[in-house]
């Protein structure tokens, strides 16, 4: 077992790498060389990346791709996507082209409310606490005025503060449930700063309150923190067309295609094991855009999956229906995104990604991102009910397999040609590769 290292954060980058190589790499020289290969030659740019997080030793690259031909609310978009998984970008682009010929995507932001909570313990008379809360609201407003001024000037700020009795779930547990409007900002720092000031004021005023007993004055603030569950920061995206306009793919008629599609989505809504994979496919598209635009994909993931469970069972985030002669497919999903703050003004590729999208507002970005998720899901379900998911995915994965085998460009071309009309499996690719090398 390695001994703990003291003062690691104070070491220089080179010293950190030297320690890492000495203690964790079997081939020290090769390990250091690989790390340095991924450094940016532009020292200023590398320093910018180094300062995004702590204890930086190198850069971990993800491919940045683009999915063109998206028509959203009558406007054309080329969507940037940062992701490592084969076929995601291709599937999104294919779905975009498909729906651009059928009226495009429609998207609408339904609400933009974000949430923060102050969790505290109070032992005493509940009615006294309610009265105190009503009286202290104006004091809280004054205490947070300097923090919220700029946001309020732009139409945002603290929207509401509500006292919630949670003692049925946990003894003596109460919370201040706060809602915010942060406009184009992601708002995490703004919300958390407000919450800490509210908590401080709430506790100080409680200690001054002459109605409270000594025990009631001793309100214990457990924590003050934003929530990544934002069911009222909601966006809707959808596509629709006449059933007859759905090309059925091979031997399947448009109506049969529509019926199978609706049934597949209904299964994801009814069966949690299917719903998880179904929604994971949606997040392939959403996360890729969120990452490319410098937003927090972990927060988006957590909020989306919580929303999928709001009924008490984990369900599909998308819905499909045949209404008369019309096929409809839509998604409603919480997306707390920002185009100001964080990496949006720091990371050069994030800035380019936002420029690619026409420097959208936070609301526009919510719409674009929801559409990417819907497109991804359409492509996946379409594949599942026709050719199966592996045919397209493994074709895209073929190059990865060949790269693992160390194939040359000529060998790649030869083997890709072999599998043009043949099912790709890992073992069959290895077999063809070995056969080619043997022939040589």
- In degrees and rounded to multiples of 5, residue 434 shows phi and psi of -65, -40
- What is the predicted pLDDT for the residue at 173? 98
CATH number of the domain where residue 353 is located: 3.90.770.10
Of the residues 227, 256, 289, the one at which a domain ends: 227
Same domain, 239 and 207: no
Confidence band, pLDDT 50/70/90 cuts, at residue 250: low
Structure-model confidence comparison of residues 332 and 401, the more confident one: 332
Do 106 and 254 share a domain, yes or no? yes
Residue 1 in any domain: the answer is no
Tens of pLDDT, residue by residue over 274-317, are: 999 999 999 999 999 999 999 999 999 999 999 999 999 999 99
Where in the sequence numbering do the catalytic residues fall?
Answer: 85, 280, 296, 393
Write out the DSSP string of 362-409. HHHHHHHHHHHHHHHHHHHHHHHTTT-HHHHHHHHHHHHHHHHTT--H
**Percent of the chain, pLDDT > 70?**
96
Q: What is the pLDDT of residue 387?
A: 77
Going by pLDDT thresholds of 50, 70 and 90, the confidence category of residue 390 is low
Residue 198 lies in a domain: yes
User: How many whole angstroms separate alpha carbon 92 and alpha carbon 397?
Assistant: 16
* Helix/strand/coil for 113: coil
Q: What is the mean pLDDT of the chain?
A: 93
388-417 per-residue burial string, b: 16 or more CB within 10 A, e: under 16: ebeebbbbbbbeebbeeeebeeebbeebbe
> Is the per-residue pLDDT at 353 higher than 70?
yes
- Cα–Cα distances in Å, from 153 out to 159, 182, 397? 13, 11, 51
Q: So what's the pLDDT on residue 320?
A: 98
Determine the average pLDDT of the residues in 185-198. Answer: 96
- Residue 68 in any domain: the answer is yes
Same-domain status, 68 and 195: no
Query: Is residue 58 domain-resident?
Result: no
Tell me, yes or no, whether 345 lies in a domain. yes
Quick check: 318 pLDDT over 80? yes
Q: According to DSSP H, which parts of 53-208 are helical?
A: 88-100, 126-153, 188-208
User: Is 55 part of any domain?
Assistant: no
Checking if the pLDDT of 271 tops 90, the result is yes
> What is the pLDDT confidence band of residue 438, given thresholds at 50, 70 and 90?
confident
Q: What percent of the chain has pLDDT over 90?
A: 83
In a shared domain, residues 222 and 250:
no
Reported as a single tens digit per residue, the pLDDT across 123-144 is 999 999 999 999 999 999 999 9
Q: pLDDT category, 170, cuts 50, 70, 90?
A: very high
**Looking at 349, 368, 387, which one is the last position of a domain?**
387
For residue 317, being part of any structural domain is answered with yes
* Start-to-end CA span in the chain (Å): 48
Tell me which of 193, 227, 261 is where a domain ends: 227
Could you tell me if 150 and 294 lie in one domain? no
Q: What is residue 224's predicted lDDT score, i.e. its pLDDT?
A: 98
Read off the pLDDT of each residue in 322-348 and give the average, rounded to a whole number: 94
My answer on whether 354 and 252 are in the same domain is yes
**What is the C-alpha to C-alpha distance for residues 440 and 437, in angstroms, rounded to an integer?**
5
pLDDT bracket for residue 82 (50, 70, 90) = very high
The per-residue pLDDT for range 194-212, each reduced to its tens digit, is 999 999 999 999 999 999 9
- State whether 81 and 223 are in the same domain: no
State the CATH number of the domain containing residue 199.
3.30.70.420
Q: Return the SS3 of 68.
A: strand
Give me the number of domains the chain comprises. 4
Which helix (H) or strand (E) segment is 305 a member of? Answer: helix 297-308
Angle (CA) 61 63 69, round 5°: 155
- Give me the pLDDT at residue 391, please: 57
| 376 and 339, same domain (yes or no) | yes
Confidence of residue 409 (pLDDT cuts 50, 70, 90): confident
When pLDDT is averaged across residues 152-179 and rounded to a whole number, the result is: 98
Q: Verify that 154 and 205 share a domain, yes or no.
A: yes
Same domain (yes/no): 354, 423? no
Please name which of 99, 182, 188, 185 lies closest in space to residue 372, comparing C-alpha atoms. Answer: 99
What integer is the mean pLDDT of 166-190?
Answer: 96
pTM: 0.88
2 lies in a domain? Answer: no
> Residue 417 has what pLDDT?
80
Q: Look up the domain containing 421 and give its range.
A: 393-439
CA distance to 81, 86, 250, 414, 417, per residue, from 421 (Å): 28, 19, 15, 13, 8
Q: Are residues 211 and 270 in the same domain?
A: no
Q: Are residues 142 and 285 in the same domain?
A: no
Beta bridge partners of 328: 240, 321
């Amino acid at each position: 077992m390695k001994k703990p290292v003291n003062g690691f954060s104070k070491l220089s980058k080179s010293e950190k790498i030297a320690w890492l190589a000495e203690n964790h790499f079997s081939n020290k020289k090769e390990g250091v060389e690989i790390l340095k290969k991924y450094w940016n030659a532009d020292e200023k740019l590398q320093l910018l990346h180094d300062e995004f997080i702590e204890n930086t030793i190198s850069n971990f690259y993800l491919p940045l791709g683009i999915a063109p031909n998206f028509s959203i609310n009558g406007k054309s978009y080329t969507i940037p996507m940062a992701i490592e998984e084969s076929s995601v970008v291709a599937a999104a682009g294919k779905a975009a082209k498909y729906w651009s010929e059928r009226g495009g995507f429609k998207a609408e932001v339904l609400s933009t409310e974000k949430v923060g909570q102050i969790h505290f313990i109070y032992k005493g008379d509940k009615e006294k606490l309610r009265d105190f809360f009503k009286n202290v609201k104006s004091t809280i407003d004054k205490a947070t005025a300097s923090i919220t001024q700029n946001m309020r000037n732009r139409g945002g700020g603290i929207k509401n503060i509500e006292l919630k009795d949670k003692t049925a779930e946990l003894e003596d547990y109460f919370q201040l449930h706060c809602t915010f409007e942060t406009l184009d900002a992601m708002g995490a720092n703004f919300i958390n700063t407000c919450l800490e000031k509210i908590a401080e004021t709430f506790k100080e005023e409680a200690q001054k309150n002459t109605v409270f007993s000594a025990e009631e004055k001793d309100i214990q603030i457990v924590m003050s923190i934003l929530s990544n569950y934002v069911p009222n920061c909601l966006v809707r995206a959808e596509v629709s067309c006449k059933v007859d306009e759905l090309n059925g793919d091979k031997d399947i008629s448009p109506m049969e295609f529509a019926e199978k599609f609706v049934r597949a989505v209904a299964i994801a809504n009814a069966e949690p094991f299917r719903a998880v994979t179904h929604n994971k496919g949606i997040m392939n598209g959403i996360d890729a855009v969120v990452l490319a635009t410098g937003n927090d994909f972990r927060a988006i993931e957590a909020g989306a999956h919580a929303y999928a469970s709001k009924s008490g069972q984990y369900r599909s985030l998308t819905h499909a229906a045949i209404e008369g002669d019309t096929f409809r497919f839509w998604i409603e999903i919480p997306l707390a995104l920002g185009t100001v703050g964080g990496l949006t003004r720091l990371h050069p590729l994030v800035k380019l990604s936002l420029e690619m999208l026409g420097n959208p507002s936070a609301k526009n970005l919510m719409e674009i991102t929801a559409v990417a998720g819907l497109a991804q899901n359409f492509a996946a379900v379409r594949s599942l009910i026709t050719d199966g998911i592996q045919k397209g995915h493994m074709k895209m994965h073929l190059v990865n397999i060949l790269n693992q085998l160390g194939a040359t460009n000529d060998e790649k071309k030869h083997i890709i040609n072999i599998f043009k009309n043949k099912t790709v499996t890992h073992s069959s690719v290895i077999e063809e590769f070995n056969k080619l090398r043997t022939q040589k």
